[in-house]
A and B are shown apart, each in its own frame.
Chain A
């Protein structure tokens, strides 16, 4: 391990850093690069030859000259790109040695045949040296590039980590990419509908990010730039657009940019989730506040209302004058209505807080329906409420009290929304594992668009004519109760007149709770 690390260091110290002028020159202009590499090759070989002549004149052995040539080949490989120059230098070196330093001098002939071995060894050694050097050079360049990329990614990741909103993420992204690739960068952010609505742009070499709203289509802009989506299969947050005049080497940028885009995507996803969570928390908080407010108001209203209702009833009883009696009876009815509403609010808050305990026992449907019908019939005057239930006794696991409440609310709703003489019917049907209850009125029905909303909290029946009474609590309670039983509730218009509110209760599930 230690050894390996050491060799890495040696290799790294051996290779040029980015500041190296030659490399920069090489990078930037291919024509200049060729000239420069040719120059380097010629210069080193010339230098080696001259130095060797000096060696010969001082009577150093020939082996030194061979080593010197090999060294110069190494230098050539070191400062040039690819294998070509090194091999060329090896060949030049061999021939120079042959030409200048073997007898007969200044010819390519040799007298001593053993030199052929020297030439061969020298050429092989040079070529191998040059190949190795180039390879080391190349891999170290790769390592530097990787390191730079890793560094960049790290910097982008850490600045993205500090970003505190989607907009922040976009700003940081364009800054980082522009910094990395030295070009104009834009980030187009998509809105909820998937349309690109905002553009974060940065110009090459600047720090300032321009934010602009995209009014027209973004197509022309997209055509002029290279595009990287910030998206996975489900979500698209936006696009990163790069001007085409940026530094070359696009293949390597591709992988780097996809890595960067993944980081940006992750950051945006994180921000989106955080915002969603925050919103949900706010929502829950508001909801909790609302229900506790409602509950405390209701509690405080209940007692005085009972007093008002009671006193009004006493008055209505004792007054002889018909007109006054009617007035007082009105107070009585209104107080009664308010009391019912408060009971509704209380049960609703109970349901919402999850305190509703559904105590399922098998109940005879006819008993529950009968009781609900009897209750509503008390104040539904001349109206006929027609129960239509199966002839056989049907036992359904349910909390009788709660389902009775559902039926009362539904009947109440039907009575309220249909004419005084029009009949209301309650149907019960078994369908495999479900028992369907339907309350059908012959009233005005309602706008099909409003139908799904009737079970929403505080929906007050927009288009229904006589909606003055009802802040829409009865039906949301029904839905909550039915859902707590594992059933569903629906509203639909009848083909002819009026509407049907129907719900089902499962027969199977929970059937064992009752007797246990």
Chain B
């Protein structure tokens, strides 16, 4: 299917690198590899990969620096990989422009699910340069132009602020959005104290969309990082 995309795997651990390579091969994705930051930057220039899978804990360079470096000239999708207990670094990486993250140890399915979401967003952007008007996820339909939200065909009222948050999330469905990203996009500024009001808005939206807010169907919490809207 998406065999035309080239992946760059930046990972110093040989085992994990070969694991990622194998996972990609099951889907017939092409991949090149780099074991450290220098090789990675060289490869980005030489091989011109389409998608970057980047370990944050590299021996020679800070993963964050690579992200900033890449973002200076390209908006290629970046998936960061890091240890479970490095939430702060993940958030920093996401805020610096990474598209999504994976915590080690991860499964093939986890990796492929992330890749699918990213490819879908790439594809829709490529096929449809005009912004999408209507998003359908499960039983939910969001019409961005008419500011209309329907669930199971029934219209639900959303306040303007709630609607801005919801539309941001459906546009990025399947991708993790950090608190600060949502705040910047919707409020325009980011203050740590606004995170609290974001949670309140989120709770209200959840009450309108979910049958059981503690067993979400659409809005998933990534504790300590942000929110992820359901992919399908």
Contact = CB atoms under 8 A, between A and B. Distances in A.
B232 to A, nearest CB: 16
Contacts of B216: 370, 374
Nearest to A514: B196
Contact of A393 (B85, B192, B203): B203
B152 interface: no
Interface string B199-219: 110111010000011111000
B16 interface: yes
A362 interface: yes
A313 B108 contact: yes
A387 B215 contact: yes
Contacts of B202: 364, 367
B28 to A, nearest CB: 14
Q: Ordered nearest first, which 10 A-B pairs have the shortest CB separation? A: A387-B214, A310-B19, A307-B15, A367-B221, A393-B203, A400-B223, A366-B213, A401-B224, A370-B214, A314-B22
B192 A389 contact: no
Contacts, number: 90
Interface residues of A, number: 37
B19 A343 contact: no
Interface in B126-169: none
B19 A311 contact: yes
A83 interface: no
Nearest to B88: A359
A380 interface: no
Contacts of A318: 26
B87 interface: yes
Contacts of A369: 214
Interface in A399-432: 400-401, 404, 426
B213 A401 contact: no
Interface in A476-516: 514-515
A316 B140 CA distance: 36
Given A314-B23, A362-B199, A367-B223, 9 more contacts: A307-B16, A309-B105, A336-B105, A370-B213, A370-B220, A374-B215, A387-B215, A389-B213, A401-B224
Interface in A348-405: 361-364, 366-371, 373-374, 387-389, 393, 395, 400-401, 404
A404 B107 CA distance: 21
A361 B194 CA distance: 12
A60 interface: no
A515 B196 contact: yes
A120 to B, nearest CB: 106
Contacts of B87: 401
A220 B15 CA distance: 78
Interface in A319-364: 336, 339, 343, 347, 361-364
B104 interface: yes
B223 A310 contact: no
A458 interface: no
B191 to A, nearest CB: 10
A306 B105 contact: yes
Contacts of A34: none
B105 A387 contact: no
B197 to A, nearest CB: 10
24 contacts: A306-B13, A306-B15, A306-B16, A307-B16, A313-B19, A317-B26, A318-B26, A343-B84, A362-B199, A363-B223, A366-B203, A366-B206, A366-B213, A366-B214, A367-B221, A369-B214, A370-B216, A371-B223, A374-B215, A374-B216, A393-B199, A401-B223, A515-B192, A515-B193
A411 to B, nearest CB: 12
- Residue of A343, A367, A426, A515 with highest tally of chain B CB at under 10 A: A367
A395 B220 contact: no
B185 interface: no
A395 to B, nearest CB: 7
Contact of B108 (A314, A343, A387, A388): A314
Interface of B: 13, 15-16, 18-19, 22-23, 26, 84-85, 87, 104-105, 107-108, 192-193, 195-196, 199-200, 202-204, 206, 212-216, 220-224
B88 to A, nearest CB: 10
Nearest to B105: A306
A389 B210 CA distance: 14
A389 B214 contact: yes
Contact of B105 (A310, A363, A367, A388): A310
A362 B108 contact: no
Contacts of A313: 19, 107-108
Given A306-B15, A306-B104, A387-B212, A400 B203 contact: no
A262 B196 CA distance: 63
Contacts of A339: 105
Contact of B223 (A307, A311, A404): A404
Contacts of A401: 87, 223-224
A311 B20 CA distance: 10
A373 B105 contact: no
A474 to B, nearest CB: 16
Nearest to A405: B223
A65 B196 CA distance: 114
Contacts of B195: 361
Contacts of B220: 370-371, 374
Contacts of A400: 223-224
A364 B193 contact: no
B85 to A, nearest CB: 8
B215 A310 contact: no
A373 B215 contact: yes
Contact of B199 (A347, A364, A404): A364
Contacts of B199: 362-364, 367, 393, 395
A303 interface: yes
Nearest to B83: A302
Contacts of A389: 213-214
A188 B199 CA distance: 69
Contacts of B22: 314, 317
B183 to A, nearest CB: 14
A347 B85 CA distance: 9
